[in-house]
Each structure stands twice: as structure tokens, then as C-alpha cells.
Structure 1
Amino acid sequence: MSIAAIESVLQQMRANALQAGSGPRPAGGPADGAEAGGFAAELRQSLNRINGMQQHAYGQAEAFELGKSGVALNDVMVDLQKANVAFQTGLQVRNRLVAAYQEVMNLPA
């Protein structure tokens, strides 16, 4: 797994996040212990966006089930699918990172 492939996936995740309407966190926001602009911070932000999308979708689904006005079934289904795609993308990134780590660990010393 090359670094270029990982960067490509991260760019796709950023584009998906922007399309979903969740931009980057404010500059003064907490970094949860990660340095700003680093790989760990970017990964953490991506995971937080995925979690946010899932929480929003599940909230929409619950609101629809309770019969709240202004919540349409098609919006709920689209939000659930977006959250699922984001989760699957995150899962594939994790799998590729683990594979890259294992490949590096198996390199001869």
C-alpha cells in the first residue's frame, strides 16, 4: 500500500464530508490531544465526521418513527445510506492502514 493511495482515500473522505455538509472543525476547537494538521488529527476528524453522520441519520430515523413533522422517509433513507457509505469507507481505510502496517513490519531489517 503506497502513501499516495492513502492520501487519495483521505481526499475522497474530505470531499464526501464537504458534500455531506460537515466542514472542518473550527480553528480554535479541541484537537483531542492530536497535533493540528497531522495524520492522526486528520484520521480522528474523519472518524468524528463518520460518527456525526451516523448519529444524525439515527436521529432522523427515530424522529420519523415517532411521527415528528418535517421528517420525510426519503430523507431518512438517504441519510442512512450516506452514513453507511461513510462507515464502509472508514472501514476500508482502516483495513488498508493495517495491511500497510503489517507490510512495513515484515520488511527485512
Structure 2
Amino acid sequence: MSVGMIDSGRIEAMVAQLKAAAARASPAGENPLQTDKTANQVNFQSVLKSSLDQVNTAQLQSQQLAERFAMGDSNVSLSDAMISMQKSSIAFQQTVQVRNKLVSAYQEIMNMGV
């Protein structure tokens, strides 16, 4: 169903993809941001590395699609290449914002009096 120019089916598909990516990133289907009292704590390093790897993969895929389109590959449309580039751009912007929050939190902790 389209509302204006927004296709809600595509939005639902994107949400399903995001949920699938979150499920792949977590061990045994657990939420990587939550831990129970009996389980080991979440390894922040592995969660961060997994997220960075996903952003890197998205950027590499968008670059490959753009190159294939530029070379005249008939299997790649302009809209596919542009959507892929926008997805990787948004993922990168999100990563930068997370980094900025981490740096800000670190600076705040370092300025605390002991």
C-alpha cells in the first residue's frame, strides 16, 4: 500500500531486514544489548566489531553496484545503485554518531572527580 509516495510494503521489508541483521549479530538469538544475571556479560568489543563490519559490507556492496552500473551492467538499475548508496551513507552516519556519543561519554567520565 502506498501512502503518498511512500510504499509501506518496502518499509516493512526494511524493518524485517533490520530485525534479521540484529538476530544474526546476537549469539543464539539473544538480544545483544541485554544480559540476564546468570549469563556472561555482553562482549562490547564483539558487538562493536560486528556493527562496523556490517557498515563496511554495506559500503563495499554499494560501491560495487555503482561500479557495475557505471560499466553498463544491464542487471543493475540506477535506483538500485542509488538506494544502496543511501543505505550505506545512513549506516556510516549512524556509526559516526555512535562514535561521537562514546567519545562524549568517555570525556565526561574522565572529568568526574574521584
What's the TM-score once normalised by structure 2's chain length? 0.67
Deviation at 1:73, TM superposition (A): 0.3
Gapped regions of structure 2 (runs ≥ 5): 1-13, 28-40
Count of residue correspondences: 88
What's the TM-score once normalised by structure 1's chain length? 0.70
| 1:106 to 1:40, Cα distance in 2 relative to 1, 3 A | same
Q: Which amino acid aligns with 1:19?
A: L
2:54 aligns to what?
Answer: 49
Gapped regions of structure 1 (runs ≥ 5): 1-14, 28-35
Q: Which has the higher relative contact order, 1 or 2, with Cα contacts under 8 A spaced 6 or more apart?
A: 1
2:33 aligns to what?
Answer: none
Q: Which amino acid aligns with 2:61?
A: H
Q: Which has the larger radius of gyration?
A: 2
Counterpart pick for 1:88 among 72, 93, 104? 93
Residue 68 (structure 1) aligned with residue 51 (structure 2): no
Q: Which amino acid aligns with 1:43?
A: L
| Alpha-carbon distance in structure 1 between the residues aligned to 2:73 and 2:62 | 15
Deviation at 1:80, TM superposition (A): 0.2
1:79 aligns to what?
Answer: 84
Q: Which runs of 4+ in 1 moved over 4 A?
A: 20-23
